[in-house]
Amino acid sequence: MLKRLVDKYNSLSADGVVGVWLAVWWLANLFTAGCSELANDEAYYHIFAQNLAWGYYDHPPMTALLVWLGESLFAGELGVRFFFVLLQPLYLYIFWRVISPKGATRSDAELFVMICSAMLVLQLYGLIAVPDGPLLFFTALFLLTFKHFTESKRWAWLTMGLSLGLLALSKYHGALVLLFALAANVGWFMRNPRKIGELMLSGGVALAVIVPHLWWQHQHDWVSFMYHLSGRNGYFAISNITDFLVNMLVVFSPFYLPLWVQAYRKHAALTPVERALKLYPPAFIIFFTISSFRGYVQPQWAIVAVFGLVWILFMYARQHTRTRRYVMRAGWWTVGLIVITRLVLVFNPIGINFEVFRNKKAYQQMAEIAYGRPVIFDGKYAIAAKYAFYTGKETFSQPNVSHRTSQWQYRDDDSGFVGRDVIIEVDPARYSEQEAKQRVKCAELANGREVYYVELSDFHPTRLVEIESNLVVPEEVKRGERFDFVLTINNPYSYDIEIDGEQYLLQMTWGWRKQQYRFYPIGHSVKIPAEGTVNVDCSFVVPDELPSQPYKVGFVVHHRDMYTWFNGEPQQTEIK
């Protein structure tokens, strides 16, 4: 039996060898995906899939669609991840067809699979349900259609346009895939001007594919674009730059770093696709290194660089026996470490507390504490999503000015909790010592999280209250400066909201980015009638305690136990 299998394997073509090893890899991914718990973002995308749409707060729709399709076939973690796991062998095989040389041998096929296997970024992002999976799939499809396009194959402009449109519906970083490919081939297009017209046709096809998403963005004030262009901005820290560069060494396998440098110097790019592949690694890494000057950059944002790195090392190593021998040996060592990591991921024998461990037990504990009551988390969009996934119970992520907002702002779950008893996650530091002892409780969960909460009866949210102001905050303000203004407060709910300074508060909030915001009471006691509007005369003196820095200034109305998001559009200013 074994001899027949060996003989069968030895009779395979190079394409067959790639197919066999990618199938083995897929089965390993399938096992790990079905036997390990969800990461935070995966649970968040599960929330997306509960309400399919043409767009979401921070992502285009492809991820939600794939999760929805998987959950229609399988339950649990495997359902969330199934199609993301399926995409990996497909896009790696497509990429093999893009770069495989004429007369490729079985040895070439094994070398290709080993280089891919040793890329930690491919091991992780071929397993979990995140937008990087479809990003890589449609990037590989674009590279194949771009190859056909440059070879003047019939209808290539159409298939390339479709792949670009689907790439845009997967992740916004897909725009860089096209831009860098064009930048690498400016000269080629100048020598082939007829192709510019076909490129424009491809662009028209891509635009047609993404029109529904653009319409969704228009209906939602271009929220995703605003979030990615400015909402994610953090602050300059040298650690953001160094962390990103170190991550680049780790996720793309540090064992191969010297070889990439040598291969990049020695191997020339001869075709338009090869020129794109050679530009991708430096272009993506430099682009996101520059991005790290304004905040933390996640290492997977440069994930498309992996195609260029695999290509350049593959083409170099296949021509140099000693290099190939080192690549294979280092690859086997890497695969061995990956197998150990996967076993830990599934069985957690040493009891690690991390986001992919002990979630089922932890959130079942929280559900037992809630005892049928909805649980409202304080802006932790992924934690609320995990609670919903692992318990099936009612929950909501209350927007919090100290955190970024999320897709939860387009859900209205909290309106369904009106008049009911709820559990609310709180910060005990917001209460006096005596009150904290009396009201604030702590749940120590199995995954290591501590959840501080209060029990609130007769819940009435204020999240949808709208506040407009005639105050235009200057670009620069001074401590002690006084503002007199009028707030127009609209209550869309079917109940009165009594702002009394005790249970319900009207406040002006000052803060910047991820720091803790400061809340200052303004105005007077006032009742906002159900489905009614009131005008409130307010005054505010800029406190001396505020340090010199930029600020985002807004207005909020909320129950004293609730975190809150701005109830109107905030303004930006700065104290010099």
Q: Has residue 443 got a pLDDT over 70?
A: yes
Q: Among positive and negative, which fits the CA dihedral 166, 168, 170, 175? A: positive
Angle of CA points 450, 456, 461, to nearest 5°: 105
CA 71 – CA 155 distance, rounded (Å): 35
Q: Which amino acid is at 349?
A: P
Q: Has residue 444 got a pLDDT over 80?
A: yes
CA 213 – CA 124 distance, rounded (Å): 28
Q: Has residue 534 got a pLDDT over 90?
A: yes
User: Which of 234-243, 333-342, 371-380 is predicted least confidently?
Assistant: 234-243
Torsion of CA 391, 393, 397, 398, to 10 degrees: -150
Section 529-551 average pLDDT: 91
Name the more confident of 262 and 404.
262
Q: Do β-strands 375-377 and 422-425 pair in parallel, antiparallel, or remain unpaired?
A: parallel
What's the whole-model pTM score? 0.92
Tell me what pLDDT residue 274 has.
95
Tell me what pLDDT residue 19 has.
92
Nearest to 428 by CA among 411, 443, 413: 443
Q: Around Cβ 573, how many Cβ atoms within 10 Å?
A: 16
Provide CB contacts within 8 A for 521, sequence distance 6+: 501, 505, 506, 507
Tell me what pLDDT residue 232 has.
60
pLDDT band at 230 (very low <50, low <70, confident <90, very high): low
User: Which of 175-184, 242-251, 333-342 is predicted least confidently?
Assistant: 242-251
Q: Around Cβ 387, how many Cβ atoms within 10 Å?
A: 27
Name the more confident of 495 and 513.
495
- CATH 3.30.300, applies to 466-575: no
Token pair for 189: 């297009």
Largest CA distance in the chain: 88
Q: Has residue 427 got a pLDDT over 80?
A: yes
Q: How long is the chain? A: 576
Name the more confident of 272 and 351.
272
CA 507 – CA 184 distance, rounded (Å): 53
Which secondary structure element, helix H or strand E, spans residue 456, and what is its range? Answer: strand 450-456
Q: Which amino acid is at 310?
A: V
Q: Around Cβ 221, how many Cβ atoms within 10 Å?
A: 9
Section 292-314 average pLDDT: 90
What rounded mean pLDDT belongs to the chain? 91
CA 537 – CA 525 distance, rounded (Å): 11
User: Where exactly does CATH 2.60.40 map onto the chain?
Assistant: 466-575
Q: Has residue 3 got a pLDDT over 90?
A: no
Nearest to 465 by CA among 415, 401, 397, 392: 415
